[in-house]
Structure 1
Amino acid sequence: MKAAGRQVRASGEKPNGDMDRRPSYPGELRAKHATMSSKVWVKVAMAIAYFLCVSVAAFILVIYYVFFWTPDAHGNATSSAAAAPNRTECAPRLG
């Protein structure tokens, strides 16, 4: 009794199956998957590097603004007081 799925070979056929079927090469497939996985790791590493760079820059700015930055007391507040006053009142209607 024959096993299910087993085909009888004709004398001119290849042992791998159909004549039009392309043979598989495990070495090439292994190399293809290795390059694909290395591409994934490169993308992950680049994302982690980008995140670290942005986080370090943000952390440096936080340290600067918390410990070193002092608002300028002689900045815009005194210069705008010396300038013409901002008139936001509406002129009275005549008529």
Structure 2
Amino acid sequence: MKAVGRQGSATAGKLNGDPDRRPSYPGELRAKHATMSSKIWVKVAMAIAYFLCVSVAAFILVIYYVFFWTPDDPRNATSTELPNRTDCAPRLG
């Protein structure tokens, strides 16, 4: 009966702050730190990839607008086009 009481208190008393707690193996800690550092590198790599994708898209747009895009000249409008009026029509009544 005495062994059962010990066994129950031994499992219940081994909390994080208990001095009788068995120490962790270095392999477990090494594996834990390896997974944590790999997670950090994955996050950093994803942030860099996102930054590069956005920057490349912006660079392509700059090249297009600087070298290829020609804005429409409003002075060369044909007579079939309606004028761009910003005034509102007068109200009747």
Same fold (TM over 0.5): yes
Identity of aligned residues (%): 76
Q: Which runs of 4+ in 1 moved over 2 A?
A: 77-80, 85-93
C-alpha RMSD of the superposition: 2.7
| Counterpart residue number, 1:59 | 59
How far residue 87 of structure 1 moved from its aligned partner, in angstroms, is 4.7
Task: Give TM-score, length-normalised by structure 2.
Answer: 0.61
Which structure shows the higher helix fraction? 2
| Counterpart residue number, 1:31 | 31
Q: Looking at CA atoms only, which structure, 1 or 2, has the larger radius of gyration?
A: 1
Shift in CA distance, 41/87, structure 1 to aligned 2, threshold 3 Å:
closer
Query: 5+ residue gaps in structure 1?
Result: 1-16
| Number of equivalences | 71
How far residue 73 of structure 1 moved from its aligned partner, in angstroms, is 3.6
Task: String of CA shifts for 1:1-48, please: whole Å, max 9, x gaps.
Answer: xxxxxxxxxxxxxxxx62xx1331111101110110011001100100
